[in-house]
A and B are shown apart, each in its own frame.
Chain A
Amino acid sequence: MMRGSILAVVVAALSVASAHAIAQEFNIVIRNNAFEPQEIRVPAGKRVSIYVSNEDASAEEFESPALKVEKVIPGKSKGLVRVGPLAPGRYEFFGEFHPNTAKGVVIAE
């Protein structure tokens, strides 16, 4: 009984550890020159992968001095943005080619 529960704890701990070892993935879509969703919540202190899919025909530049990212996403294509590890807080990003409509924020917590 005792041994079984220790094993269960070890297995649970290992699976948590391996889940954390893999960079967590998030998705953002660009549609009509705007981001969807405009807000994503990511874990603080970890590497995070954000896949940005541009469904518009026009290119967009995913830019954020806060996240230290500057990446062109051509029209009708997908780009991978790697950020972090981030301290808890709000990190704004925008589409440089459509700065009036394309705005969003990454919240690390």
Chain B
Amino acid sequence: MFGALIIVFREVIEAGLIIGIVLAATRGVSGRGRWVSAGVLAGALGAGIVALFAEAIANAFEGAGQELFNAGVLSAAVAMLMWHAAWMSRHGREMAVELAAVGAAVTAGKRPMTALAVVVALAVLREGAEVVLFLYGILAAGTSSGSLLLGGALGLAAGAAFTALTYYGLVSIPARHIFTVTTVLIALLAAGMAAQAAQYLDAAGVINGLSRQLWDTSPWLPQDGIVGRVLHALIGYTDRPTELQLIAYLATLAAMAALTRLATPARTAHARAV
């Protein structure tokens, strides 16, 4: 049972972190609970469908279907995060100033939650499909499935608790800093996702080359441990990165920084207006 708990918990860490960050980044936005819940539900539903067609997906594109699917899902999430970053830098500063001035009770309801809800849905979809396959496998194997299923359920609950921990950790940051913190976190999240997507494209055989490994920090901080996994999900930590992964990571960070800056029209004018 404990084994199943750990396995499911490890699978849901990444989605849990993303949901926690999205919730913290949208504090004060009216109706965000509905959007995030809708994202989780859509993702879970999608995960079930993906799990159902897992074999067909895996065998598509000469056996590279699963890698291409994951690369596609990750790229879509990166695109959504970029859209959100651009929108936020255009409108977010006014909101941040309002929040600091009038208190967190003020809501900025006009902000489009679509992009972040899609990011949540995609995260749940990708990791949820693995959890569904794992739990289905337990049922299919039959033997002593009761305690394993209980373990899986507890693993999901632990993942939810981890989401709550991420959220409350982030919202304990003073309101005037939280905008900066969540902006940086979302940029790192996107960079990590882009590096993962690039690696999936390499595994699919779409990208060949740039596969030289740059360094190996696995003896100190293995990526498959719990801490390594959290850092992997949070900032895209990879213990043995390739040139391709580093390039994708840095290019995405640069793109996020450029979007944030380019899309900010006359920052000081806005600050003065408020």
Chain A residues near B (Cβ < 8 Å): 47, 56-61, 63, 65-66, 68-69, 71-75, 77-85, 87, 96-97, 99-100
Residue from A61, A69, A97 with most neighbouring chain B CB atoms (10 Å): A97
Residues from chain A with Cβ under 8 Å of B129 in the complex: 72
A74 CA to B55 CA, complexed, in Å:
6
CA distance A1 to B101 in the complex (A): 95
Q: Is the CB of B203 within 8 A of A69?
A: yes
Which residue among B54, B129, B222 has the maximum number of chain A CB atoms within 10 Å of its CB?
B54
Q: Do B136 and A59 touch (CB < 8 A)?
A: yes
In angstroms, Cα B3 to Cα A100, docked, is 9
Q: Are A58 and B141 in contact (CB under 8 A)?
A: yes
Q: CB < 8 Å: which of A60, A66, A68 contacts B203?
A: A68
Q: What separation, in Å, do the CA atoms of A66 and B202 have in the docked complex?
A: 15
Contact of A68 among B133, B137, B199, B205 (CB under 8 A): B199
Minimum distance in angstroms from A33 CB to a CB of chain B: 9
A80–B199 Cα distance when bound, in Å, is: 15
A-B contact pairs, 5 of them (CB 8 A): A68-B203, A73-B58, A77-B59, A80-B63, A87-B213
Does B222 contact A65, Cβ atoms closer than 8 Å?
A: yes
Least CB distance from B51 to A in Å reads 8
Contact of A97 with B7 in the complex, beta carbons under 8 Å: yes
One of A47, A66, A72 near B218 (C-beta < 8 A): A66
Q: Given known contacts A72-B54, A77-B55, A97-B7, is B63 in contact with A59 (CB within 8 Å)?
A: no
Residue of A66, A79, A80, A82 with highest tally of chain B CB at under 10 A? A80
Kindly identify which residue among B59, B63, B137, B224 contacts A58, using a CB–CB cutoff of 8 Å: B137
Q: Which residues of A contact B242 (CB under 8 A)?
A: 68
B222 and A74 contacting across the interface, CB-CB below 8 Å: no
A99–B202 alpha-carbon span in the complex (Å) = 25
How many residue pairs, one in A and one in B, have C-beta atoms under 8 Å apart?
Answer: 82
Closest residue of chain A to B134 (Cβ to Cβ) is A97
- 13 additional contacts (CB under 8 A) given A57-B141, A79-B58, A97-B134: A58-B141, A65-B224, A66-B240, A68-B242, A71-B58, A71-B66, A72-B130, A72-B133, A75-B136, A77-B54, A82-B64, A97-B7, A99-B3
With A65-B224, A82-B203, A82-B205 already in contact, the answer to whether A75 and B211 are too (CB < 8 A) is: no
Chain A min CB distance to B58 (Å): 5
Residues of B within 8 A of A79 (CB): 58, 63, 66
Task: Tell whether B140 is near chain A: CB-to-CB under 8 Å.
Answer: yes
Known contacts A56-B141, A63-B224, A68-B199: A82-B218 contact under CB 8 Å: no
The contact string, 1 if C-beta is below 8 Å from chain A, for chain B 178-208, is 0000000000000000000001001111001
Residues B103-136 near A (CB distance < 8 A): 129-130, 133-134, 136
